[in-house]
């Protein structure tokens, strides 16, 4: 970086520095890269540290960087646009954009359905369901955790044969075509386990999307999914058509 600050341009000096840093971050830095220290930036722009801090504070407000106490200021991952449509499929949507996707199954159990799970799957309480947790990474960075709930009866093959990747593609291969019936989106503070897997501060919110997916052929509920996205890494695009 080598930028000249024009002090009589009519634009505040910190604003000029902010624009220069923003351009530098977007064009030359990758997520996880560390910015030069405040003293280094102050020397580079020939200004005091207070002016540098004001410029970096605007980058923070934009979500382009984050400060880590005792370590420095790091470039954050750019938000990824994720469409929510009737036929949304996580893996296909992101893979089509050329991004590297990785999926890890954290657990796969049979448990009794309770509360919202039973209601959304339209089954009686205590009926056995498959509970599966998957962690999704995009470009090697944690992106979301998904809790999948499926009826156990008729879906035993998920326990036996599904080993990762796209669950909906797998269901299609097994003759079931899930489509989204509804989604409910809220922001919340993550539970400790989610914060750990998503590698995020415990006080930073996630976007939680609760979805009900039904069989396209008969309208029967086949999956209730609760997805927790890192809010700083996703931009949800809801298609109304």
Count of the separate structural domains present in the chain? 2
The reply to whether 2 falls in a domain is: no
- Pair type for strands 80-84 and 221-230: unpaired
pLDDT digits (tens, 9 = 90+) for 132-174: 999 999 888 899 999 999 999 999 999 999 999 889 999 999 9
Which pLDDT score, from 0 to 100, does residue 237 have?
A: 84
Same-domain pairing of 137 and 232: yes
Residue 133, strand partner residues? 107, 147
Q: What is the CATH number of the domain that holds 20?
A: 1.10.10.10
pTM for the full predicted model: 0.73
Range of the domain at 134: 80-238
Contact 130, 148 (CB under 8 A): yes
149 and 66 co-located in one domain? no
Q: In the prediction, which pLDDT does 49 show?
A: 95
The pLDDT value recorded for residue 5 is 60
Check residue 171 and give its pLDDT: 95
pLDDT along the chain (241 residues), means of 10: 62 92 88 92 93 94 85 85 75 70 95 96 96 93 95 96 92 94 95 94 93 94 96 82 59
Burial class (CB in 10 A: 0-12, 13-18, 19+), 223: buried
CA distance 31 to 76: 5
Nearest to 210 by CA among 179, 233, 180, 231: 180
């Amino acid at each position: 970086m080598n930028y000249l600050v024009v002090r009589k341009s009519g634009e505040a000096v910190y604003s000029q520095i902010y624009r220069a840093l923003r351009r530098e971050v977007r064009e030359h830095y990758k997520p996880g890269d560390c910015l030069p220290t405040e003293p280094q930036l102050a020397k580079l722009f020939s200004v005091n540290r207070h002016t540098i801090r004001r410029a970096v504070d605007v980058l923070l407000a934009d979500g382009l960087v984050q400060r880590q106490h005792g370590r420095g200021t790091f470039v954050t991952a750019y938000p990824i646009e994720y469409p929510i449509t009737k036929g949304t499929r996580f893996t296909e949507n992101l893979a089509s954009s050329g991004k590297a996707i990785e999926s890890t199954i954290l657990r796969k159990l049979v448990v009794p359905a309770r509360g919202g799970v039973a209601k959304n799957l339209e089954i009686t309480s205590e009926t056995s369901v498959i509970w599966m947790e998957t962690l999704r990474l995009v470009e090697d960075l944690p992106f979301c955790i998904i809790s999948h709930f499926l009826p156990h009866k008729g879906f035993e093959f998920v326990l036996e044969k599904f080993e990762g990747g796209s669950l909906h593609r797998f269901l299609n291969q097994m003759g079931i075509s899930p489509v989204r019936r509804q989604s409910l989106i809220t922001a919340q503070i993550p539970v400790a386990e989610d914060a750990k897997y998503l590698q995020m501060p415990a006080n930073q919110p996630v976007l939680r999307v609760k979805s009900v997916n039904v069989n396209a052929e008969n309208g029967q509920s086949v999956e209730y999914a609760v997805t927790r996205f890192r809010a700083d890494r996703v931009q949800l695009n809801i298609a109304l058509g």
